[in-house]
Amino acid sequence: MKKIDENEKKILKELVRNPRQSDNQLAKRTGIPLKTVNRKRKLMEKHGILNYITWVDNGPSGTGEFSLPQMFIVKLQHGITRKKLTESLLGSNFTETDIKHTVISYVGEIDGHVCLIIVYASRQDTDILEIFNAELVPKLKGLLGQDCIHSVQSIQLTTPISLMHNYLPLVNMENGTIRQSWPGHLIYVG
């Protein structure tokens, strides 16, 4: 774990606001010398503090390719550990279906049971249940045993409120970045 200094916080806040900024733009906006910005950015990337992703909205408000996402909470039987689930999933072959339809997934815990939380999206709501039953359930049973699933909950997700602490799609996003008028003190970087 690395503590973030004040200059790094300034750089990170600007990158959260607009990750497409060059080091020259960052230096200008933060008042930090260009060489320092460049060095600190590279170090934060190297240490895994700073990562870049592109979010493509394939939902109804974006490309429209997918319907509303659905979250499944798969509660596993006692005796299945986080480590066993994580290693089994990461060691398995990822399919095109996994990549195309999985929005996000986590390993978690419910009432003393390890669980897999997975959000799927597809063109039609009815496809999501088919993907779950035809792809995920057999995969889990193959990796962890036929009786590995204790119970399943399914939740239809409708409106995204916030993403990764800072992104409020209905409030502070404009043209793919956080609006310039959004107050800096409302950008969290740690």
By the 8 A CB rule, do 68 and 160 touch?
no
- Do residue 95 and residue 46 come from a single domain? no
pLDDT, mean of residues 42-53: 92
Return the SS3 of 73. Answer: strand
Instruction: Report residue 25 as tokens.
Output: 């733009």
Q: What are phi and psi of 151, to 5 degrees?
A: -160, 165
In this model, does residue 58 exceed pLDDT 90? no
Count structural domains, the chain. 2
Cβ-contact 14, 50 below 8 angstroms: no
CATH number, domain of 147, equals 3.30.70
The least confident of 43-47, 92-96, 107-111 is 92-96
Q: Report if residue 64 sits inside a domain.
A: no
Same domain, yes or no: 149 and 169:
no
Whole-number mean pLDDT of the chain? Answer: 93
Could you tell me the pLDDT band of residue 154, with boundaries at 50, 70 and 90? Answer: very high
Domain-embedded: residue 180: yes
Boundaries of domain holding 33: 6-55+164-186
Rounded CA gap, 123 and 45, in Å?
Answer: 35
Inter-residue contact 156 to 68 (CB < 8 Å): yes
Q: What is the pLDDT of residues 91-104, one digit of tens each?
A: 988 888 788 899 99
Kindly state whether residue 65 falls inside one of the protein's structural domains.
Answer: no
Q: What percent of the chain clears pLDDT 90, i.e. is strictly above it?
A: 75
pTM of this structure:
0.81
**Does residue 51 sit in the same domain as residue 113?**
no
Q: Kindly state whether residue 63 falls inside one of the protein's structural domains.
A: no
In a domain, 60, yes or no: no
- Do both 136 and 176 map to the same domain? no
Mean pLDDT, residues 38-55 taken together: 92
